[in-house]
Amino acid sequence: MQKLKMVEKHINKCADVRRVGDWKSVLRELDATVAAGADSSPQLFMCRAEAQLKLHQIDDAESVLSHVPKSEPRTN
């Protein structure tokens, strides 16, 4: 339960700094989110790529995009 709370805290902080365009802080919060245990979310990969593009780190963004895990198709 504690691990989930830490992941949620970092994801929320990431969303807050993303909203104001603080891209270096977005990357820091993403690193903290991964360290807390959320390391395979396609959304986190996409957020990292966006931040790197905004910081003109084109090669790093391309690398991130090439490693995005495939999400499972939803069945209803």
Which pLDDT tens digit goes with each residue over 3-13? 888 888 888 89
Residue 74: band (very low, low, confident or very high) from pLDDT cuts 50, 70, 90: low
Q: 36 pLDDT band (50/70/90 cuts)?
A: confident
Q: Which residue has the tokens 């700094």?
A: 17
CATH number of 1-67: 1.25.40
DSSP letter at 40 equals: -
d(CA 45, CA 49): 6
Pairwise CA distance, residues 5 & 40, whole Å:
17
Domains of the chain, residue spans: 1-67
* pLDDT value at 39 more than 80: no
Please check whether residue 30 is in contact with residue 18, taking contact to mean a CB–CB distance below 8 angstroms: no
- Over the Cα atoms of the chain, what is R_g? 13
